[in-house]
Amino acid sequence: MDVRIGVTQSPTVIEVELPEGADADALTGQIEQALAADKGVLWLTDRRGRRVGVPSERIAYVEVNATSEDRRVGFGAGVR
């Protein structure tokens, strides 16, 4: 599962690839909880074990995508 986090006042997008089998509903709850806290931090652990923390006050948006065969790259990506 891939998570993309946009940071306010920065063109940088933080991308975190979570381990396979990550629970999307639990992740969504964790994101909502971090965003609801005044001085919260969204902590995510990627598939390599690295921890990434983003202060909730700096989060512009969060995209959660399940990785699948839909992410195709190349000349035939648009052809099914």
What average pLDDT does the chain have?
Answer: 85
Q: What is the band of 38 on the pLDDT scale with cuts at 50, 70, 90?
A: confident
Q: How far is CA 41 from each of CA 3, 21, 24, 31, 34, rounded to the nearest angstrom?
A: 15, 23, 19, 9, 6
Q: Tell me which amino acid residue 2 is.
A: D
Which sequence spans correspond to the domains of the chain? Answer: 2-65
Does residue 78 register a pLDDT over 60?
no
CATH code linked to domain 2-65: 2.30.30
pLDDT of the residue at 79: 55
Residue 44 burial (10 A CB sphere; 0-12, 13-18, 19+): buried
| Cα distance between the two ends of the chain | 23
Encode pLDDT of 49-76 as tens digits. Answer: 999 999 999 999 999 986 555 555 566 5
Eight-class DSSP state of 71: -
